[in-house]
Amino acid sequence: MTRDVILCECFARDGLQHESRFIATPAKVGLIERFAALGFERVEATSYSNPRVVPQFADASDVLATLTRRAGVWYKATCANVRAVERALRDLDAGQGANEISLLVSASESHSLRNLKRSRQDQWDNIAAMVRCAARRFRMVGTISVAFGCPFEGAVDAARVLDDARRFAELGVDAVTLGDTTGMAAPPAVRGLCRRLRQEFPDLTLVAHFHDTRGTGLANCVAALEADVRYFDCAFGGVGGHPDKVKYGGGHTGNVATEDLVSLFESMGVCTGLDLAALPAVSRLCEDTLGRPLYSRVAASGLNPLIGAPAAAGAGAA
């Protein structure tokens, strides 16, 4: 199916890192397989995190080893250091690895020290070593956390984010995710930064990753779409945020809810390429897995009944 946007389902990684209760490996595998069957072209499968820091992903290799793959799907694993890339390479050599990895940098010094335990400069040295280690055997995505604002330092200079994007591009990383880590972005800032990045780095694939901490996630997604961004991250039920053992920011820090984003885009005539009829059942499975109601409005109300109606179909892809 022709898609206007490509969504990455982040429930199994960014979503679950927020959970204090360990989710069993078979349950994770089942979820990832359902996401791929639903039509997601990109799925965050796991993280090669230190199990002492993020115990939820102690089973990263086991998840990848038992996962039934779908052709054309990118299964992403987050890597924080060279040891993580080495683990990813071992799994890849065994025929069971991720085919996409995410490399993390923070746009602020304070968040880098809190989240990555390194200064920004040390993390950039670390990323360069990770890229060399990966030897182009994965599709690489550079993620810039707190790109629109930092919970410790406040405003983040857009010039620093542009410089980070340039550094990723110079290392051969051709996709960059802009992370609104604690939901501080507003649509004008999103449009402005995305347009500047598109202008200065036309060959760079931009990915929008918004958290709905303050209820602005969907508005920011539309702003990014208007700035010609076509890749978006989301998570069923709006789950996610900082790792359970590394907390910062207050209140709900979850991702934009997949159900809500899909309903919005499809009602705008923006095709996500997902199986809309099967989406509610997957949403319920995510709630059942965590054992509680989640944050999606559409999970409770249902997809917009006007999806596919002439007025929606004629709206175009913005």
In this prediction, residues 53-79 reach a mean pLDDT of: 96
3 pLDDT above the threshold of 90: yes
Residue 317 has pLDDT above 60, yes or no: no
Q: Which pLDDT score is estimated for 241? A: 76
Residue-wise pLDDT for 139-175, tens only, equals 999 999 999 999 999 999 999 999 999 999 999 999 9
Short-list 110, 184, 213, CA closest to 152 = 110
Domains in the chain, CATH or no CATH each: 6-301 (3.20.20.70)
Q: pLDDT above 90 covers what percent of the chain?
A: 86
On whether the CB atoms of residues 48 and 87 are closer than 8 A, the answer is: yes
| Confidence class for position 250, pLDDT limits 50, 70, 90 | low
Q: Looking at residue 22, what is its pLDDT?
A: 96
* pLDDT tens column, 268-282: 999 999 999 999 999
- Give the confidence band of 31 by pLDDT, cuts at 50, 70, 90: very high
78 vs 244: which has the higher pLDDT: 78
User: pTM of the full predicted structure?
Assistant: 0.94
Residue 130: predicted pLDDT: 98
In the prediction, which pLDDT does 249 show? 58
Report the DSSP beta bridge partners of residue 207.
Answer: 177, 231
> Among 34-48, 185-199, 238-252, which is the least confidently predicted range?
238-252
Confidence grade of residue 116 (pLDDT, cut at 50, 70, 90): confident
The owner of tokens 């319920």 is 284
Confidence check: pLDDT of 186 > 70: yes
Q: Position of tokens 């969907």?
A: 218
Residue written as token pair 């890339």: 85
Give the pLDDT score at 59.
98
Residues 6+ apart with CB under 8 A from 245: 53, 54, 55
Does residue 247 have a pLDDT over 70? no
Rounded to whole angstroms, how far apart are CA atoms 221 and 211? 10
- Six token digits for residue 92: 């890849």
87 pLDDT higher than 80: yes
Reported confidence tier of residue 309, pLDDT bands at 50, 70, 90: confident
* Mean pLDDT calculated for residue range 205-217: 95
Q: Could you say which DSSP state residue 77 is in?
A: E
Q: Quick one: pLDDT band at residue 115, thresholds 50, 70, 90?
A: confident
Residues 6+ apart with CB under 8 A from 189: 148, 158
Residues found in the chain: 318
pLDDT digits (tens, 9 = 90+) for 8-17: 999 999 999 8
Are the CB atoms for 23 and 55 separated by under 8 Å? Answer: no
What integer pLDDT is reported at residue 311 of this predicted model? Answer: 58
pLDDT for res 245: 54
Per-residue model confidence (pLDDT) at position 121? 97
Residue 108: what are its φ and ψ, rounded to 5°?
A: -125, 150
Q: What is the pLDDT of residue 293?
A: 93
Asked whether the predicted pLDDT for residue 318 surpasses 70, the reply is no
**Mean pLDDT over residues 218-242, rounded?**
95
Compute how many other C-beta atoms are within 10 angstroms of the C-beta atom of residue 57: 25
